[in-house]
Amino acid sequence: MQRRQFLAASLATSALALVRDAQAQNPASSGREFYQLRQYKMENGPQTRLTGSYFSEALIPALTKMGFGPIGAFSINLGPETPAYYLLIPSNSVEKLVTADLHLNEDADFQKAAQPWWEAPATANAFLRVENALYIAFEGWPKVTPPEATATKGKRIFQMRTYESPSYRDHVRKVEMFHKGEFDFFKAAGLHSVFYGDMLVGPRMPCLTYMPSMDSLDQLDTKWAAFSNNPDWKKLSADPRYGFEPTVSNITNLILNPLGSSQI
């Protein structure tokens, strides 16, 4: 336990130092949310049921009590490495975000509710791996915005798109494109934007991740066609500042369904 807490504290301290340095160089960034995106890799069967119960009965209630939210909890509908669940945890404090797991150990209600998942034996483990990434919200989209259907638990699906760039210059140009019109182009196409994040700590950097939503999978092709055919988008993408070379070298595109415990 002590070693695990030491490692978690060390990683939290490193991430916190990185973000504080970024904020010192750009004070405007302090008004933006930070996101921890967790991927829980599992096998079909008991692991998905156990982890789903852990989210709804232990983890999300405990994180909500700590002041985080709205918290997104999703399962993969279409994409590689299934089954897997994703958890999106927003916060206005990176320090709270990267030390959250340490404080969960101090919550007696969480420890009791989490016991079936937390103490699952190696012969019947609750998950395979958990991978975390830390993001800072885009300046032009500083907070999570759930779709209207979330309030009524209505039907909705989500895409989670990650754009990797071949260089930091290209990455910065791609982020700039969102601020030069892409937010509006998504809205015009009927795609609701949930969040936009610039990765601070995680794999495949430099990269960004964003999440549009819609009512159903049937709308996917028509809404993206409306985006692609927007003359303002065509003009922006042809601008020599952005069209001089491919600024995105790889795209990961996942279709996600909200879990019953999701607050997004």
pLDDT in tens, 150-167: 999 999 999 999 999 999
In whole numbers, what is the pLDDT of the chain averaged over residues? 90
Look at residue 13 in the predicted model and tell me its pLDDT: 41
- For 75-91, how does the pLDDT look when each residue is reduced to its tens digit (9 = 90+)? 999 888 899 999 999 99
Strands 207-214 and 129-137: unpaired
Look at residue 79 in the predicted model and tell me its pLDDT: 84
Look at residue 7 in the predicted model and tell me its pLDDT: 37
Measured between alpha carbons, how far is 129 from 40 in angstroms, rounded to an integer? 6
Look at residue 31 in the predicted model and tell me its pLDDT: 87
- The segments of the chain whose pLDDT lies below 50 read 1-19, 21-29
Look at residue 45 in the predicted model and tell me its pLDDT: 93
Look at residue 30 in the predicted model and tell me its pLDDT: 58
Q: How far is CA 151 from CA 9, 156, 168, in A?
A: 36, 11, 38
Look at residue 86 in the predicted model and tell me its pLDDT: 98
Look at residue 81 in the predicted model and tell me its pLDDT: 83
Opening angle at CA 211, ends 51 and 237, nearest 5 = 155
The beta-strand segments (E) located in the chain are 34-41, 72-78, 84-91, 129-137, 157-164, 192-201, 207-214, 250-258
Q: Quick check: helix, strand or coil at residue 213?
A: strand
- For 219-257, how does the pLDDT look when each residue is reduced to its tens digit (9 = 90+)? 999 999 999 999 999 999 999 999 999 999 999 999 999
Look at residue 229 in the predicted model and tell me its pLDDT: 98
User: How many residues make up the chain in this entry?
Assistant: 264
